[in-house]
Amino acid sequence: MSQLALVIDLNVCVGCHACVTSCKEWNSSGWAGPLPDENPYGADPSGVFFNRVQTYEVGCFPHTETIHFPKSCLHCEDPPCVPVCPTGASYKRADNGIVLVDYDKCIGCKYCSWACPYGAREIDAQNKVMKKCTLCVDRVTDQTLQESERKPACVLACPTSARIFGDIHDPDSAASVAIREQGGYQLQPEWGTQPANHYLPRRRSQMQIHEDELIRADNPLRKEEVEMPIEQGDTLDDVAW
Amino acid sequence: MQDPTTQSDNDLGRVEVKTTTCYMCACRCGIRVTLRDGQIRHIEGNPNHPHNQGVICAKGSSGIMKQYSPARITKPLLRRQGAERGTSEFEEISWEQAFEMISERLARIRAEDPKKFALFTGRDQMQALTGLFAKQFGTPNYAAHGGFCSVNMAAGMIYTIGGSFWEFGGPDLERAKLFVMIGTAEDHDSNPLKIHISKFKRRGGRFISINPIRSGYSAIADEWVPIKPGTDGALILAINHELINQGLFDREFLIQYSNAAELVVDDPRRDDHGLFSRFEMHVEEGCFDPENKLWWDRDLDKEISTHTPGTEPRLLGSFRLEDGTKVKPAFQLLKDRLEEYTPEWAEGITGIPAATIRRLAHEMGVTARDQKIELPIQWTDSWENEHESITGNPVAFHAMRGIAAHSNGFQSIRALSILMTLLGTIDRPGGFRHKAPFPRPIPPCPKPPNSPDAVKPNTPLDGMPLGWPAKPEDLFVDEQGEAVRLDKAFSWEYPLSVHGLMHNAITNAWRGDPYSIDTMLLFMANMAWNSSMNTEQIRHMLTDKDEQGEYKIPFLIVCDAFQSETVAFADLVLPDTTYLERYDALSMLDRPISEFEGPVDSVRIPVVPPTGQCKPFQEVLVELGSRLKLPAFINEKGERKYRDYPDFITNYETSPGSGIGFLAGWRGKGGEKFLKGEPNPRQWEMYQKNDCYYHYKLPKSYQYMRNWNKGYLHWARNHGMIRYAEPITIHLYSEVLQKFRLAAQGKGKGRQPPERLRKRIEMHFDPLPFYSEPLLSRLVDTHEYPLNALTQRPMAMYHSWDSQNAWLRQIHTHNYLFVNPILAHAKGIDDGDWIWVESPTGKVRCMCRYSEAVEPGTVWTWNAIGKAAGAWGLAPNANESQKGFLLNHLIPEELPPCESGEHLSNSDPVTGQAAWFDVRVKIYKAGADEPALTLPQFSVMKPLPGQKVRRGRWQAFFAGQLGKKPGRKKGSKV
């Protein structure tokens, strides 16, 4: 069985929210829509978003890291939201591992959102139906789209290409390669849910300059007959006899 | 529920797919818009577009909510008779009534005194048309928003290297190894930068961010270097100091391509002190730098003509010419200047340890020197030297408003341009690269008028409303040396204000200094809110009356697509379209979207019809130009020349038969020419077929070293992009600035500044970069107001001039003031507390949020989240007006009175760049009895006639069903 998933590269995510609204846009008018907004132009607006970006600060000034953290349903391989559903509305597809909700069967009891350790479910309070990320199942399986566009809307939108989409059961997929080679990790693996989505950590480039490399023989100051910025210090010639 | 794999989204309605250009911000990405049953289903990045390569940002995807926003203005509106201005009381009128009213008024002004009409636009990417209209009308009182955005970046760089960041050039991250970003710069331009920073990081490049705040792209920097606001110049000067003292500069590059080795007269008694020593030579008049300057030959130990084959000049030393003139190479003067700017000196100003400053300099210098790129591309320079390869030093920089929006920004940016030059990175791989039509001469050729005689009744303006002064004689002043323009641009107060000073237009018009005006037309400029400094007072000025009971600014026309705060103050409101409803040309005559590899321009073509009676502003100008019989809009018989805006774009030429028009692609009768060629009646169609853009890729040998690339310069001249194919030598030393300084010193027989401004000009027109504390800090009590306060826009709202968007407002519903806990604890302020922020200009009540990602002497907030109650189609109790706030109330638009004048703009004294980021504040906890409500508050703005206010609890957008009653079934439409 294949398991479609997202691998999100925190090393390049700048927190621009492109994934958030491209998801909203695609899904609101698609198979999983609508994604209603409560008080869209009033106080405390609150709508359904399948994908959100959280921002954290880590560490104290001046050693502060700012982390942008996009989060949506992780499409667990052993999803706790599925067995708790009293109507069978919450299900995991056998063909590609995507976790979905059948709105016709959903009674809006919210058991699934209680069971999900990641807070990834979104209640549509207008229609009293639980909704969630579908990995754009209606795009990725649409054979009328060009292959290059059979990807979730968030993946196509992402300006830093921080979202890698693929089958993590296929060891040669870009997603699997990224997980394997760049330290991909799961969220809260101790829950045993085996989230299919993975994250790639920050990586840091540093530069080492060896003292000897600072001044080169062809230093342009030599051409101007300026004293070179080299402190030679004492030599044996100065102190030995 | 149907299995999602058994159907296609395309089956849900009648589908059409169209391409156009985004305008949710100033970035201008290519987009593909899918319509379902005529309604917008999906806006996605166009994968074929060179600019964004298929990606799209948070704003772009939210364009649907802009299109269907309840803040849309749908009808022309006239202030109701008897209603006070600012109360938002309007009645509907027809376009014909509106046009009659405007043309009658403007015709009268034009016949009497054209400068009594002022046109200011919030966007500067249609200046080719708006500037043309102003010039044809005959008014000099025209500018776009550059003066309060980043003109220091444009001017500082263009006056130094002949190009600048964003539309005219940028960091070559494809080949850079080290990338340094200084200050907030994320929004210029956003998607291309994001694409390239990500690829750069994945290739293992090193990214350093120097910024008081760690947000945005700084979040993923390999190193964050916190700096005190307004001190960037000190840091850069210290880096330059270290590079020169260590010999970490590209000597060959400096000699061949900059004026570093050129000899400057060094004799303070002489009138030409500080100018280049030039020999007699016949020079054709033109706006290029003649090659009549001198080097000091190393071997002969005497002066020689620059670029004499086989010679090598001295960069350092002090010499005497044969005629006895004392001279020094410009580089020696630079070295002398930098002597005092040690890393230890800069540590005390910037807050960055001296060791870090040294290391930054070493990283830049060693990377540039030791990781040289060599591309097997042959090219010939302007002096006929043939080169086997293109080489590059892979250190790239980017900076925009963070460094620009200070009163010392121009000189800081000069210092940055010089840093980039010392490293040898100008228009070379891995460094900074130009985008067409740049590089241009230093400064570019167009000049503003230089005398009040340029303004005559019923006559176009003699000169360009905006231009590039090269000497005091180019200033737009009267015989007393005082301003002719309303905003005082190009006067001795702000001589190089190349983008104007829109931020002072309202204050000056209200005060009648230099004169009163009659009519002001504002397009897409929210001057009664986030586009003005000192907003509360500006709102007062818009409603203030003289002793006769007449408004001090008699007639205000506002053209906008949305119910912005400014609309309330209009006498006449013109409903603009959205970007999805109109034609637009993003022209090479203006600020196109060129790539490093060659010119690119683009268009918008409507994907949906206009809403209500909305009319694009472009059409309004063509209509008014025709009715007013402005020469460019009528034929020989005096009849209307252009049917509409698309017709204008197709057929307009800069002069009859010039072959240069708004669009560069598919010119010539059959579309066989580019850049230059006769009008092509099918040009729009050809753009549409090519996804709404035109991209000409230069041959590889023309893609680099363009300031001095003979092939490129001749190509550019032949295609009408530049007038002269002369080399564009980098102005390490600025003779242009020295000419103004000499005038201030009373030297020469030319124009001289008024007495009060002599010292100011002498100080700030320094031909070499220097550091000075921002003006406001010198004039306010910094013990009382010890903090710097900054604003920046969040990525979901960059450059987006509206945030009533139902989706985007859920990302940022209100803003906080971010405060470092070290500072907050000292003030007894808890996270989430209501606090006051106060400056000498005003005070604002808002909420505090702790942040470890800001240097402790700085507080900051997301800008333009806060709104006035009732504006933008939002409910009066929306978070934006109750908890959100606008920091602009605290920022003065004018300096406190000082020896240079009573009412000087709070701007850079060289360029007039608004010094937003100079404001000084203090913070303290709000009283326990104070309500949890932001202050100041303004009376609630009423909805406009024709505005579709939606007050329902729910909005469930589903394309194709908007405005229809759907048979809803459990949240699924299928």
CA distance A218 to chain B (A): 9
Q: Of A36, A42, A124, which is closest to B875 when you measure between CB atoms?
A: A42
Cβ-contact B868, B562 below 8 angstroms: no
Neighbours of A235 (CB within 10 A): 8
> Under an 8 A CB cutoff, do A41 and B973 touch?
no
Angle ∠(B686,B687,B690) on CA atoms, nearest 5: 90
| C-alpha to C-alpha distance for A128 and A89, rounded to whole angstroms | 13
Cβ-contact B423, B391 below 8 angstroms: no
> Under an 8 A CB cutoff, do B968 and A127 touch?
yes
Domain boundaries B775-925, corresponding CATH code: 2.40.40.20
Tens digits of residue pLDDT in A157-175:
999 999 999 999 999 999 9
CB pairs under 8 A between A and B: 296
Q: Of A65, A139, A160, which is closest to B198 when you measure between CB atoms?
A: A160
For residues B903-926, b (16+ Cβ closer than 10 Å) or e, as one string? ebbbbbbbbbbbbbbbbbbbbebb
> Under an 8 A CB cutoff, do B222 and A205 touch?
yes
H-helix or E-strand spanning residue A20: helix A18-28
Q: Of A41, A159, A220, which is closest to B950 when you measure between CB atoms?
A: A41
Q: Which fold has domain B162-437+727-733?
A: Dimethylsulfoxide Reductase; domain 2 (3.40.228)
> Under an 8 A CB cutoff, do B875 and A139 touch?
no
Only one residue has tokens 């920046």, namely B792
Q: Which residues of A touch B950 (CB under 8 A)?
A: 40-41
Cβ-contact B429, B394 below 8 angstroms: yes
> Under an 8 A CB cutoff, do B224 and A62 touch?
yes
State the Cα torsion B73-B79-B85-B87 to the nearest 10°: -60
Q: Which residues of B touch A46 (CB under 8 A)?
A: 810
Can you give the pLDDT at residue B803? 62
Q: Of B54, B226, B971, which is closest to A127 when you measure between CB atoms?
A: B971
Can you give the pLDDT at residue A238? 75
Q: Of B4, B195, B809, which is closest to A141 when you measure between CB atoms?
A: B4
| Distance, C-alpha A9 to centroid of its chain | 6
pTM beyond 0.95: yes
Q: Does B871 touch chain A (CB under 8 A)?
A: no
Cβ-contact B848, B830 below 8 angstroms: yes
Q: Which residues of A touch B202 (CB under 8 A)?
A: 11-12
Number of domains in chain A: 1
Would the CA dihedral through A170, A174, A180, A186 be positive or negative? negative
Structural domain boundaries, residue A164: 4-73+133-200
Q: Which residues of B touch A137 (CB under 8 A)?
A: 4-5
Tens digits of residue pLDDT in A8-38:
999 999 999 999 999 999 999 999 999 999 9
Q: Of A61, A203, A206, which is closest to B852 when you measure between CB atoms?
A: A61
Give the mutation candidate from B2, B7, B9, B336 for the A interface (greatest A CB count, under 10 A).
B9
Can you give the pLDDT at residue B973? 40
How many secondary structure helices (H) and strands (E) does chain A include? 7, 11
| C-alpha to C-alpha distance for B26 and B163, rounded to whole angstroms | 19
Tens digits of residue pLDDT in B770-806:
999 999 999 999 999 999 999 999 999 887 776 679 9
Can you give the pLDDT at residue B394? 98
Domain boundaries, chain B: 4-67, 162-437+727-733, 582-718, 775-925
Q: Which residues of B touch A148 (CB under 8 A)?
A: 47
Q: Does B367 touch chain A (CB under 8 A)?
A: yes
Can you give the pLDDT at residue A234? 76
Q: Does A37 touch chain B (CB under 8 A)?
A: yes
Give the mutation candidate from A207, A223, A231 for the B interface (greatest B CB count, under 10 A).
A207
Beta-bridge partner residues of A124: A129
Q: Does B879 touch chain A (CB under 8 A)?
A: yes
CA distance B22 to chain A (A): 14
Within a domain: A195: yes
Q: Which residues of A touch B178 (CB under 8 A)?
A: 207
| C-alpha to C-alpha distance for B343 and A165, rounded to whole angstroms | 47
Q: Does B70 touch chain A (CB under 8 A)?
A: yes
| C-alpha to C-alpha distance for B594 and B721, rounded to whole angstroms | 13
Fold match flag (B162-437+727-733 vs B775-925): no
> Under an 8 A CB cutoff, do A42 and B956 touch?
no
Can you give the pLDDT at residue B965? 65
Q: Does A160 touch chain B (CB under 8 A)?
A: yes
Searching chain A, which residue's CA lies closest to the CA of residue B56? A157
Residues of chain B with pLDDT below 50 are 968-969, 973-974
Can you give the pLDDT at residue B39? 97
**Nearest Cα to Cα of residue B500 among B94, B945, B925, B905:** B905
Phi, psi (degrees; rounded to nearest 5) at B826: -60, -25
The answer as to CATH 2.40.50.100 being correct for domain B4-67 is no
CATH of residue A12: 3.30.70.20
Q: Of A131, A142, A229, which is closest to B971 when you measure between CB atoms?
A: A131
Can you give the pLDDT at residue B974? 38
Q: Does B928 touch chain A (CB under 8 A)?
A: no
Give the mutation candidate from B35, B193, B220 for the A interface (greatest A CB count, under 10 A).
B220
Can you give the pLDDT at residue A232? 66
Q: Does B563 touch chain A (CB under 8 A)?
A: no
The mean pLDDT of chain A is: 95
Q: Which residues of A touch B969 (CB under 8 A)?
A: 104
